[in-house]
Chains A and B, each alone.
Chain A
Amino acid sequence: MKDRTILIADDEADLRKLLLSVFNRAGYTHILTASSGNEALKIWEEKSPDMLILDVMLPGKDGFEVLKQIRQKSRVPVLLLTARGESEDKIAGFENGADDYLVKPFLTQELLLRVQAILNRSYPDKERVIRLGETQIHLDSSEAVCADKTSALTATELMILNKLLDNEGRIVTTGALCEVICGKSWYGYESTLAVHIRHLREKIEVNPSKPLSLLTVKGIGYNLVVKGGTQ
């Protein structure tokens, strides 16, 4: 995933330099930059990056216009990075086809996590393996190998795991996990979720009663700690 090409378009030179440094430090090797909407379109047409990070307030064509033009020909994932934090701007961004919207100022870790989540969704790696301590989870075959025991993951368990992986290291609320499984009308599903979590722990934790990876945050939700990293 780290060898994917990412194009960053922002008119602020220092911010471009910062993001270049952040992505390089995170292991991304192919980062392109643009300082205007027209330049971003030109680079996109020539180099076909795998993902775009667009500022909305670009000189010339703004981020929304660039996005509209791109969407006429491509479904390449786009994250809008912008100072315009009004809800109308966010709605406009998503209506124009953005995959995510991050308001400045932002935490660089959050940006990296969102980019990673978008890339994982857009370019699912068939050989993707998650290491949780001594456990390996093969997402393509929906299997978990823990202490030489292989367990099949159900579709629901896989959905829960993917949601937690998208927010790796961050707390995901009970409601957010329930919504992933059963949609907007998730009320009353909390106890069922708890059962799924218990089954998942039995498959991925060495000691399910003392989990080290899939942690409960009392009263709030769950947190997946990936110590071994992903491949």
Chain B
Amino acid sequence: MKKTINSNSDFFRYMRHCTYGTPVIFIIINVFISFILFTISTSEIKKDNAFPFEEFSAGIGFRDGSIQQSSFVSDTLETYNAWAMLLDSTGNMIWEYGLPEKLHKSYTLSDIAMFSRYPEDNPVKLWKHELGLLVIGFRSGRKFRNGPLNDPRYFVPVNNCIIVMLILNFISILFLFVQNMRRFEKAVDPVLNAIHCLSLGKPFKLEETGRIAYINAELNRVGEILIKKDKSRINWIRGVSHDIRTPLAVIMGYANELESNLSLPDEVREQAGIIRRHGDKLGHLISDLNLAAKLEYGAQSIRHDTIVPAELVRIVVSSVLNAGIPESFAVRICEDPTAEVPAFTGDSVLVQRMLANLIRNSITHNPNGCVITVSAGICGDICFFEVSDTGCGMNKTAMERLNSGESAFGLNTTSESSEHGLGLKIVLKIVEFHGGKAVFTGNVPTGLKVKIELPLDGSRA
């Protein structure tokens, strides 16, 4: 069972162990495998390097009435820089080859026992021969030909070992690398998706298992907290707007009553009318605030209604006219036969809101009045809506910011004091919701023109 990591220190301790431990394990395995490969590949050479006692012994025997050695015996003694003698059962030497002059011709049992005490660089080996005891002595400084450092026969297997180990190491490293990458991707991919969801305010749930379970658990917790916060904000705004609406209804109602009361002086009725209109603005502001919060915090779901763009424009304009606008304003519709078909899929409530906000924006920011023209049409796979006015327009900086996708909050858009704020922000959000784009330009000769392009197929939203 894998050990669960519960903290940053655990995680980095694990990483350190992996980082330091892996090369150590590699070295140990390399040494072990190298030793095995070397042993296997040089076993024949070692066999070759061992003194051939049996063959040597067989090369000494009676020939032509005397004990003679074969050429193998003499060659072997040359190779090993050794001498040899044969002792009979009484200890007398009956044959020798290359015997040093200082050595005796006969030996007692105790002399033979002393043979094992010769120093390492002058070893003496004994071998039983049919004619007696074969004694082989190796001289010091003899050629040592059975080591890997100076025996050329070792070079090939050593090279082969190195090549094999390099290949094995390369394959191992590659395998480890690929495995680690896959594990890393498997662990990190959900985390990256979760972070992306966090940035969009969308909910997510990570599996709290594996090496980074504690990181996943923390992300889950953060996600829940953020979503709860967004919901709290939306609920708070909704609650406040509910609380404001009833008093506002009372204010507007009485203002309307006073405005309609013919027995009152004109000035009083006009003042009542002003109160009613501002009450109406407050009402729209509350609705906009609610919608802005829902759009901002992802609580607004989008509908897929089949819309006749021309009729949608008519509904919005008739609502504006039925609610009453000052006489200095005129709202017109520019008809386009392409817009008379149910070809657009989108959220009809949001799109109506978008157009209403644009019309109200023109009314709010042109106190001296203007002509507002609204149109809709279909071009290719785009449904466009256009709202233009003949008012004082918008300054270039504000238009550039709106066209760049930035909010118009806090901008001074005319030389007086009015600012485009929440209403246009909602327009841009609704356009974004539908996967469309909005372009703000100056109208000719004066005024503002807003062109909205939305994809006909609302499934892009």
Interface residues of A (CB under 8 A from B): 10, 12, 14-15, 18-19, 21-22, 25, 57, 83-87, 103-109, 170-176, 187, 190, 217-221
Q: Which residue of chain B has the shortest Cβ distance to A13 in the bound complex?
A: B250
Whether B253 pairs with A175 at a CB distance below 8 angstroms is no
Give the docked Cα–Cα distance between A107 and B322 (Å).
Answer: 10
Whether A18 pairs with B318 at a CB distance below 8 angstroms is no
Give the docked Cα–Cα distance between A12 and B334 (Å).
Answer: 44
Give the docked Cα–Cα distance between A173 and B318 (Å).
Answer: 7
A sample of 19 more A-B contacts (CB under 8 A), given A108-B253, A187-B340, A220-B321, is: A10-B246, A12-B250, A25-B257, A83-B246, A86-B290, A104-B246, A105-B249, A105-B251, A105-B252, A105-B279, A107-B252, A107-B256, A173-B318, A175-B308, A175-B314, A217-B321, A219-B335, A220-B317, A220-B318
Whether A170 pairs with B322 at a CB distance below 8 angstroms is yes
Residues of the B chain whose Cβ atoms lie less than 8 Å from the Cβ of A171: 318, 321-322
What's the nearest-Cβ distance from chain B to residue A148, in Å? 35
Give the docked Cα–Cα distance between A133 and B389 (Å).
Answer: 37
A105-B308 CB under 8 A given contacts A14-B250, A15-B253, A85-B287? no
A105-B332 CB under 8 A given contacts A25-B257, A190-B340, A219-B314? no
Q: How would you classify the secondary structure of chain A's contact residues: helix, strand, loop or mixed?
A: mixed
Residues of the B chain whose Cβ atoms lie less than 8 Å from the Cβ of A173: 311, 314-315, 318
Which B residues from 215 to 271 make CB contacts under 8 A with A? 238, 241-243, 245-254, 256-257, 260
Q: Give the one of A105, A175, A190, A218 with max B CB within 10 A.
A: A105
Whether A83 pairs with B321 at a CB distance below 8 angstroms is no
Give the docked Cα–Cα distance between A224 and B333 (Å).
Answer: 20
Whether A21 pairs with B314 at a CB distance below 8 angstroms is no
A107-B308 CB under 8 A given contacts A83-B242, A219-B314, A219-B335? no
Q: How would you classify the secondary structure of chain B's contact residues: helix, strand, loop or mixed?
A: helix
Residues of the B chain whose Cβ atoms lie less than 8 Å from the Cβ of A57: 242
Residues of the B chain whose Cβ atoms lie less than 8 Å from the Cβ of A103: 245
Q: Using an 8 Å CB-CB cutoff, how does the interface string of B84-103 with A read, 1 for contact, 0 for none?
A: 00000000000000000000
Say if the beta carbon of B283 comes within 8 Å of chain A.
yes
Give the docked Cα–Cα distance between A230 and B360 (Å).
Answer: 34
Give the docked Cα–Cα distance between A172 and B315 (Å).
Answer: 8
Q: Which residue of chain B has the shortest Cβ distance to A219 in the bound complex?
A: B333
Q: Using an 8 Å CB-CB cutoff, how does the interface string of B304-329 with A read, 1 for contact, 0 for none?
A: 00001001001101100111000000
Give the docked Cα–Cα distance between A19 and B256 (Å).
Answer: 12
Give the docked Cα–Cα distance between A15 and B263 (Å).
Answer: 23
Q: Which of the residues B314, B321, B341 comes within 8 Å of A174, measured between beta carbons?
A: B314
Residues of the B chain whose Cβ atoms lie less than 8 Å from the Cβ of A218: 332-333
Whether B246 pairs with A220 at a CB distance below 8 angstroms is no
What's the nearest-Cβ distance from chain B to residue A53, in Å? 12
Residues of the B chain whose Cβ atoms lie less than 8 Å from the Cβ of A15: 246, 249-250, 253
Give the docked Cα–Cα distance between A171 and B334 (Å).
Answer: 17
Residues of the A chain whose Cβ atoms lie less than 8 Å from the Cβ of B321: 171, 217, 220
Residues of the A chain whose Cβ atoms lie less than 8 Å from the Cβ of B251: 105
Residues of the B chain whose Cβ atoms lie less than 8 Å from the Cβ of A14: 250
Give the docked Cα–Cα distance between A173 and B256 (Å).
Answer: 26
Whether B318 pairs with A22 at a CB distance below 8 angstroms is no
A18-B250 CB under 8 A given contacts A108-B257, A172-B318? yes
What's the nearest-Cβ distance from chain A to residue B171, in Å? 62
Give the docked Cα–Cα distance between A174 and B313 (Å).
Answer: 11
What's the nearest-Cβ distance from chain A to residue B298, in Å? 16
Give the docked Cα–Cα distance between A109 and B248 (Å).
Answer: 16
Residues of the B chain whose Cβ atoms lie less than 8 Å from the Cβ of A190: 340
What are 23 pairs between A and B in contact, CB < 8 Å? A15-B246, A15-B249, A15-B253, A18-B254, A25-B257, A83-B243, A85-B287, A85-B290, A86-B290, A104-B248, A105-B251, A105-B253, A106-B249, A107-B252, A170-B318, A170-B322, A171-B321, A171-B322, A175-B311, A187-B341, A218-B332, A219-B317, A219-B332
What's the nearest-Cβ distance from chain A to residue B461, in Å? 17
What's the nearest-Cβ distance from chain B to residue A213, in Å? 18
Say if the beta carbon of B367 comes within 8 Å of chain A.
no
What's the nearest-Cβ distance from chain B to residue A97, in Å? 23
A104-B245 CB under 8 A given contacts A170-B322, A175-B311, A220-B333? yes
A175-B315 CB under 8 A given contacts A18-B253, A18-B254? yes
Q: Which residue of chain B has the shortest Cβ distance to A15 in the bound complex?
A: B250
Say if the beta carbon of B33 comes within 8 Å of chain A.
no
